[in-house]
Amino acid sequence: MDKYFKVLPKSGSHICEKNDSERLQLDAKRAKKEVNIDNRASDPGLRCRISDYPINDRDDVRRYYLLKGPCQPKTHEFPRTIIGNISRKFNPAWFEHFPSWLEYSIEKDAAFCLFCYLFKQEMGQQSGGDSFVIDGFKNWKKGFAKFKEHVGGPTSIHNRAVILCNNLMDSRQHIDTSFHKQTDQAKEDYRTRLTATINCIRFLIRQGLALRGNDESDASLNQGNFLELLRFLGNHNESISKVILQNAPENHKLTAPDIQKDIINAMAVETTSLIIKDIGENFFSILLDESRDISTKEQMAIALRYVDRTGQVIERFVGIVHVSDTSAQSLKLALLQFFSEHG
């Protein structure tokens, strides 16, 4: 509450800048102005304006009225009105001539346009301006002629509203539908790009070839085995060519060294899992070999020897583990850690 008070330097008393009750009254007035989306009257003379609804609810209101259809009480006893010394009334036969949009309000004894009520463009006066939207049309003497005049030509306000209504009810025109289409296409492109990348890496690993080259820049004549093989694959497959390298998004090419390492690690995990599954509960022996890599770091190569279900003796290399030294204790700890990681 400190922000609502101002301290006077001399007396030290406090003056309230904004009274809580006044703020509550303002909130109540704002709440009264809000229109409940469930308050959707069938009679066009009792409806709220579309602009009175919350902007995020307007399309839902429009769909509701379009699905419900125009208000056409054909069996109603239409009252007579004196127009030009002649007693006239609304002719229900007009519903047959304008079945999709003509509405009648029992409350106001007036005709309305459903499409214009939902989507009337504020572009000037036509056929009485807002008479078919707010006040209603009551000149039954010129009813049929005025209705045709209201429809107008292909570019009339009424026909523009008809197009907007058709687009609203056509799910293919919706933004979310277009977004899903683009999303589905992006997913398909990503799947094609990822499959091509995996196939190239798999081939190079099976052949024991290096993936990267000395110069992988765009100006290089030899960008390394991986990029050259990927380009070769795209040159012989149009669907792959459309989604890789230069045709791929800048941040989604799947050619970065980190991505290559992630894919190789995933392959290693899957391969090791298959080997362990093939061993099952059978006995196996462990083959270890110690060596240094090019950076003189100690490492231990691990291979498993076992007899498979067909009676064949199998040897499988399962990984390399870096160790601090080559003592028996260090090798044992590294081996137990490796086995625990693979269950």
The strand pairing partners of 15, in sequence order, are 6
pLDDT given for residue 99 in this prediction: 92
pLDDT given for residue 220 in this prediction: 86
Percent of the chain with pLDDT over 90: 17
**Cα three-residue angle 146-114-138, rounded to 5 degrees:** 40
pLDDT given for residue 175 in this prediction: 60
> What is the per-residue DSSP string for 16-66?
ESS-HHHHHHHHHHHHHHSPPTT---SSGGGPPPGGGS-TTTHHHHHHHHH
pLDDT given for residue 39 in this prediction: 62
- Quick: pLDDT tens for 269-295: 888 888 888 888 888 898 888 877 777
Q: Are 175 and 135 in contact (CB under 8 A)?
A: no
pLDDT given for residue 177 in this prediction: 57
Rg of the chain in Å (alpha carbons): 39
pLDDT given for residue 70 in this prediction: 92
pLDDT given for residue 6 in this prediction: 39
CA 100 to chain CA centroid, nearest Å: 34
The predicted model scores a pTM of: 0.45
pLDDT given for residue 173 in this prediction: 57
pLDDT given for residue 8 in this prediction: 38
pLDDT given for residue 190 in this prediction: 87
Q: How far apart are CA 343 and CA 339, in angstroms?
A: 6
Residues of the chain predicted below pLDDT 50: 1-20, 23-24, 26-35, 122, 124, 126-128
